[in-house]
Structure 1
Amino acid sequence: MNDTKRFCFSCDLKDNPELIEKYKAYHAPGKVWPEIVKSIKDAGIIDMQIYLTGNRMFMVMDVDETFDPVHKAKMDADNPKVQEWEALMWKFQEALPWAKEGEKWTPLEKIFQLI
């Protein structure tokens, strides 16, 4: 069995119900561009889920042993279709108030796990 690791992140959407609905439509089943899905899978991400409450999103990524966040960032920077998607999504998104400079999705700190 492969070792998997979980990463969790948060990001806000602009607090505008119309924009939130459009963002959700872009992420409905079968609506994310196939090049984006391929890019995600090619990076070693085996599952990704995004949850929404109000305008705050939470992303959960399960990755395999080949995943490297630095390599994924470089892959994304070198992929024009990913850059196009990210520019489009940024029209709906905004960084958390405490995000670091240039940080879009802020890593979450795990503070509890039921064992």
Structure 2
Amino acid sequence: MTYRIVTALDLVDDAALIAAYRERHAPGAVWPEIVRDIVQRGYREMEIWQVADRLVMIAEVEDDFPRAADPALQPVVASWETAMDVYQKPIAAAGPKWAVMERIFSLADQTAG
């Protein structure tokens, strides 16, 4: 079984940086170790959507998410995160960089019964 998580993050509001961030996430551009880490941690699918300087990540994760990180990959993951920090601006000053969103509407809930 899987379940969905949705998170949000802002980008630095600079057109050149936003374009560069998009390039870093183009097909084949994400480092293979990062993709491997994402899958090993229990993500089955992940999409990042963008409007202006706002990102929304929609992910389907395994029931045992989050899984333990592979220690061998963590130096590369740390390097990737440091590289992404140039572009990213967390929504909240404290807490995780990607803020977990709360679902407030579901069409299925509206039409049930």
Counterpart CA distance in 1 for 2:93 and 2:16 is 27
2:33 equivalent among 7, 32, 35: 35
The Cα of 1:67 is off from its aligned counterpart by 1.3
Q: Say yes or no: does 1:101 pair with 2:99.
A: no
Map of 1:63 onto structure 2:
61
The Cα of 1:103 is off from its aligned counterpart by 2.4
- Indicate if the aligned counterparts of 1:7 and 1:60 stay in contact, CA closer than 8 A: yes
Give per-residue Cα distances to partners, 1:39-80, cap 9 Å, x unaligned: 000011000000000000000110112312xx45xx288700
- Quote the RMSD (CA, aligned, Å): 1.7
The Cα of 1:8 is off from its aligned counterpart by 0.4
TM-score normalised to the size of structure 1? Answer: 0.87
Identity %: 38
Counterparts of 1:1-115 in structure 2, within 5 Å, are: 3-68=1-66, 71=67, 75=69, 79-96=74-91, 99=92, 101-115=94-108
TM-score normalised to the size of structure 2? Answer: 0.88
